[in-house]
Amino acid sequence: MTDGPYGELDPDDGPSGARDRAAVPEFKPYHHPAAGWGAAKSVTEFMVVKEKEPLLGTRAIMKMNHENGGFDCPGCAWPDSIKGIHLDICENGIKHVTWEMTRKRVGPEFFAKHTVAELSTWSEFDLENQGRLTEPMSYDPVTDHYVPISWADAFELVGTALRDLDDPDLAAFYTSGRLGNEATFLYQLMARELGTNNLPDCSNMCHEASGRALQAALGTGKGTCDLEDWETTDALFIMGVNAASNAPRMLTALAEADRRGAQIVHINPLVEAGATRTIIPHEFLRMATFNATDTSTLNLQPRIGGDFALLRGIAKAVLEESESDPKALDRQFIERYTTGFSDYRAKVEATPWSLIEEQSALTEAEVRKAARVYCDADRSVISWCLGVTQHEHGVDTVREIVNLLLLRGNLGREGAGPSPVRGHSNVQGNRTCGIANKPPAQFLDRLDEVCDITSPRADGYDVVDSIEAMHAGKLKVFMAMGGNFALAAPDTAYTFDALRKCDLTVQVSTKLNRSHLVHGKRALILPCLGRTEKDVQRGGLQETSVEDSMAMVHLSRGMKKPASPHLLSEPAIVAGIARAALPGSATPWEYYVEDYDRIRDTMSRALDGFEDFNRRVRLPLGFRIKQPARELVFLTPSGKAEFSAVDLPDLTREPGVLSLATLRSHDQWNTTIYSNDDRYRGIKNLRTLVFMNHDDMRERGLTEFDEVDITSIARDGSTRSVHNYKVVPYNIPAGCAAGYMPELNVLCAIGDISTQSDQPIMKNVKVTIARSV
């Protein structure tokens, strides 16, 4: 059992806490439209008061997501509007960019003043709030300080450590989804030239289930929709996404859909702010028209993990309807393009309504309402995010989404299809450009041919494998291109111990975070340029490309002076390390970095869909990677879209056990915490909380802000606890609870990964909740 978030720390000093210890927590339910005045006020306060960046911020923001140059908003992976909305921006994108553009700096003087032991007691907010990292730093175990190191020495240190390994699989290379395509390509090339597929990434914790399900069903790991489909569909189903906070520009699409009379069904145990009314995000700065637009026609609140049953129920109703109305099914489509329909039909018919009701916690009538919307719509888009994927049955659930779409031929035509919402701004591009611990042989064959290397064929480690391998002494060198592995990964205490067992940890970062303080015997912090900054190489000002949630690839060009003259670009850092680790390498690392067009030329030969990359990426909106499934070409074993026919799982839970979802607040970006508020959920000054249903509170004799201990029960029977969390009564189905990541990662047992996707289970953690003693 682990006590307190970080073991040796005072639990009150938790991940984000300390800063506002004196501030009084508040809970006042939010009744305004999403992205309205609150967003404008929050942005102004953030830019002007906290970051003192009003002018700079505004100038940069005007350039963000701009079709003629400018940088891609690093905030999320939502596509840029193609209708020429030059100011397609949102509150959280602005915060994200302002956070990167801060004037504050963390230089050698800072590290000389503070030991790592001291910094370890700081909150996440306080660490990142010190500003941008300016110089490479190396950990000195004698003094417990980080001390300056030259780039050349840093590269040599990593290079030597990698060269000295008996086996390349003793190293792993993590990617957080910020990394641009060109750096990504070089990074995976380096790993494979070294001889390992140990390429864990944040996607292992995010959309692994979506990728696997879509690959199996449709022969593509991605959704098939683009924004035009969102703009033309008759019905949008939004499952397990907190759009107002995590993909705010989606609100524009929702509001526009509502204005033209499309149906919008939200499926979420919580009724999130984006599921009712919104101010169109890019309109909020002007606020000329304070016109809230509805963003939903139906809200369904299934139990956490109840989506599979709900989707099965909708399918059941569609099949029933087809008995009296043959048009309810698209029989021609099913016949021509799919396989496995009769098995699926049999499974659906054999699933009783009673089981659907029990597992979804919705009534048959409610499920039929959603089915009505689905049957009445000629074209439907089903969209989802972590509420669907971070579950034991994430893959089956995404496959059921596809099953449902196939029934009515909602694929390969305008206004229809599956549309996962990706997280990090380039997480999809990372995968496209080769970050995969289980790469397909075809990809490696072509990489080998084009780059003249011999890639390893054995599978590598994903995130959880990497942590286990560190514990087992099978992983000695751990490098991270961005992110905050220590806090993002499950089972915080176990992950911390794992990282501390490494011989060398290397973090390429823009800001100070927990992963710099929880480190290996030797450790490096390598500071890099951010996406907002000018990247000048020998060949002049460089641009990097990114791919959004809907497979559009476009260039991003930084325009700010770098935070420090000592920063290197991510491609340059990879190349520096590669050269030191592979002195005899025939790969022209230095040549590539001089001009990223050269990297793109190689990518255009090595990667499917990147033909003529340099020209096409310079078209005004970039280009869309072709999607065979969109054209009804299915790269599956059968050559058809495949129905999956499986039974609903057994979801019975012992009495007293609740399902806990770990979520983001409105004011955080994954492990980056901007404040302790969560405006749309009505919370101020509080992160150590748990949202609970009234009945579950009453059963435990709890009232608002009572303090509780939350204990998770892992599959192997082990327990983990957090203490003194405050209860917030909330509109959430009975038997369900929710609280914030990364604080609650403490409760996610390392072994509790989905058997279908290998994803850590972060949305359906079995817990008991009891008053703190």
Q: At what angle do helices 364-376 and 353-360 cross, to 10 degrees?
A: 100
* Residue 420 contacts Mo ion per CB under 5 A: no
Stretch (H or E) spanning 768: strand 765-771
Q: Which does 387 bind (CB under 5 to 8 A by kind): Mo ion, ligand MGD, none?
A: ligand MGD
Can you tell me the distance from the alpha carbon of 206 to that of 176, in angstroms, rounded to the nearest whole number? 11
Q: Which of 245, 380, 492, 676 binds ligand MGD (CB under 6 A)?
A: 245
Non-local CB neighbours of 286 within 8 Å, separated by 6+ positions: none
* Residue 463 contacts Mo ion per CB under 5 A: no
Q: Which does 625 bind (CB under 5 to 8 A by kind): ligand MGD, Mo ion, none?
A: none
Across the strands, what pairs with 658? 767
* Residue 131 contacts ligand MGD per CB under 6 A: no
* Residue 306 contacts Mo ion per CB under 5 A: no
* Residue 528 contacts ligand MGD per CB under 6 A: yes
Q: Which does 251 bind (CB under 5 to 8 A by kind): ligand MGD, Mo ion, none?
A: none
Q: Which of 184, 197, 252, 268 binds ligand MGD (CB under 6 A)?
A: 268
Can you tell me the distance from the alpha carbon of 509 to that of 573, in angstroms, rounded to the nearest whole number? 11
* Residue 2 contacts ligand MGD per CB under 6 A: no
* Residue 423 contacts Mo ion per CB under 5 A: yes
* Residue 545 contacts ligand MGD per CB under 6 A: no
* Residue 210 contacts ligand MGD per CB under 6 A: no
User: What minimum distance in Å lies between the beta carbon of 330 and ligand MGD?
Assistant: 26
User: What minimum distance in Å lies between the beta carbon of 128 and ligand MGD?
Assistant: 6
* Residue 236 contacts ligand MGD per CB under 6 A: no
Could you give the dihedral angle defined by the CA atoms of residues 160, 163, 165 and 167, in that order, rounded to the nearest 10 degrees?
A: 160
Q: Which of 206, 524, 551, 603 binds ligand MGD (CB under 6 A)?
A: 206
| Size of interface with Mo ion, in residues (CB under 5 A) | 2
Whose CA is closest to 524, among 118, 122, 114, 133? 133
Q: Which of 347, 531, 579, 720 binds ligand MGD (CB under 6 A)?
A: 531
Which ranges in 660-723 belong to alpha helices (H)? 694-699
> Which tokens sit at 526?
């390598």
User: What minimum distance in Å lies between the beta carbon of 640 and ligand MGD?
Assistant: 28
Computed from CA positions of residues 39, 42, 46, 47, in that sequence, does the dihedral angle turn out positive or negative?
positive
User: What minimum distance in Å lies between the beta carbon of 661 and ligand MGD?
Assistant: 4
Q: Which does 171 bind (CB under 5 to 8 A by kind): ligand MGD, Mo ion, none?
A: none
Q: Show the binding pattern over residues 507-526: x = contacts ligand MGD (CB under 6 A), - = does not.
A: -xxxx-x-------------
Q: Is 680 left (phi over 0), alpha (psi -120 to 50) or beta?
A: alpha
Q: Which is nearer to ligand MGD, 385 or 749 (CB)?
A: 385
Residue 584 φ/ψ, nearest 5 degrees: -90, 10
* Residue 61 contacts ligand MGD per CB under 6 A: no
Q: Which is nearer to Mo ion, 572 or 738 (CB)?
A: 738
Q: Which is nearer to Mo ion, 240 or 423 (CB)?
A: 423
**Tokens 């190191």 found at:** 149
598-617 exposure pattern, b = at least 16 Cβ within 10 A, e = fewer: bbbebbbebbebbeebbebb
665-676 exposure pattern, b = at least 16 Cβ within 10 A, e = fewer: bbbbbbbbbbbb
Can you tell me the distance from the alpha carbon of 292 to that of 260, in angstroms, rounded to the nearest whole number? 15
* Residue 206 contacts Mo ion per CB under 5 A: yes
Residue 263 φ/ψ, nearest 5 degrees: -90, 140
* Residue 418 contacts ligand MGD per CB under 6 A: no
**Tokens 């290197």 found at:** 568
Q: Which is nearer to Mo ion, 423 or 439 (CB)?
A: 423
**Of 57-65, 202-210, 283-291, 660-668, which segment contacts Mo ion by CB under 5 A?**
202-210
Which ranges in 490-642 belong to alpha helices (H)? 492-500, 514-517, 570-581, 589-594, 596-606, 613-616
* Residue 562 contacts ligand MGD per CB under 6 A: no
Q: Which residues bind ligand MGD (CB under 6 A)?
A: 76, 92, 128, 176, 178, 202, 205-206, 239-242, 245-247, 267-270, 272, 302, 304-305, 307, 385-388, 390, 423-424, 481-485, 488, 508-511, 513, 528, 530-531, 570, 661-664, 668-672, 741-742, 744-745, 748, 762-763
